[in-house]
Amino acid sequence: MSITEILFWFLSAMALGGALMMVTSKNPVYSVLWLVVVFFAISGHYILLNAQFLAVVNIIVYAGAIMVLFLFVIMLMNMNADNEPQKNKWLKIAGAVAGGSLMLVFVAALRQTETLQAQQVNMGGEAGLIKTLGKTLFTDYVLPFEISSVLFLSAMIGAVVIGKKGD
Amino acid sequence: MPINYYIILAVALFSIGVAGVLTRRNAIIIFMCIELMLNAVNLLLVAFSKMHYGNAVAVSPSAVAGTEAQLFVFFIMVVAAAEVSVGLAIIVMMYRNIHSVDVNFLNRLKH
């Protein structure tokens, strides 16, 4: 077993365990912290795939910005585990069974694809380096890049308008 | 590393997200499960791009071969960040109106 495989299995276990703990923990603050663990595991996967730019962006944007936003909102609302709504146990079981069935369907569909299963993931390559991606982003994809800045501006204005007090 | 492993990992993460959306009633946790699903898809996109990387280099040995999917993931992250800011504003608004983030209280359009 090579070091890459050991890292792959460790990061996969970390991501799946963190995701399960995120869904099952009662306190929303713990959920956010477990989701940060999942994001770090996924960033580790990106580094393993030599997609270094995406790993850094994932940590900065998701674990750094979005999760802090979630934490702020949760702390502003002053939620604790006591006012977590109680609900039917059967609905919970039905939701878990539905998610499991979805996974079963996906895996069953995967089992029928012999040509895809034979493919290997190429761990090396320079496609994920910041230099390569930056060059492509600012030559071929410069129009989507600028449009996304307009999207950010409108999202910012929208958040302020929605969150404004009054009426 | 076979592509199978990445597909099954992403499918498992996505299914956990779906199960979380179906079982939890807290709007913030439902939103976090949606983020988890987005990340599972991003991971699968990068894995597939790395799977096709060898073929892309063989066809056209340029510097930009294999970067498209990673830029796609970058733009998905951009859109997700914008979506989170608006979505959290909506959740804050909902908390201000009904003093709860339980989605069961949102079963009518007017209160």
Triad B85, A68, B20: Cα angle to 5° = 75
Under 8 Å CB pairs connecting chains A and B tally to: 229
Chain B residues whose CB is inside 8 A of the A52 CB are none
Contact state of A4 with B51 under an 8 Å Cβ cutoff: no
Residue pair B15/A99 in contact (Cβ under 8 Å)? The answer is yes
Whether B65 sits inside 8 A of A137 (CB atoms) is no
Note the pLDDT tens digit of each residue in B80-109: 999 999 999 988 888 888 888 888 777 776
pLDDT tens digits, one per residue of A38-75: 999 999 999 998 888 999 999 999 888 899 999 988 88
Mean pLDDT of B67-89: 90
Torsion of CA A51, A53, A54, A56, to 10 degrees: 120
Chain A touched by B59 (CB under 8 Å): no
- What confidence score (pLDDT) does residue A82 get? 52
Reported ipTM: the value is 0.90
| pLDDT at residue B61, rounded to an integer | 64
Task: Read off the pTM.
Answer: 0.90
- The answer to whether B19 contacts chain A (CB < 8 Å) is yes
What average pLDDT is seen over chain B? 86
Q: Could you say which DSSP state residue B66 is in? A: T
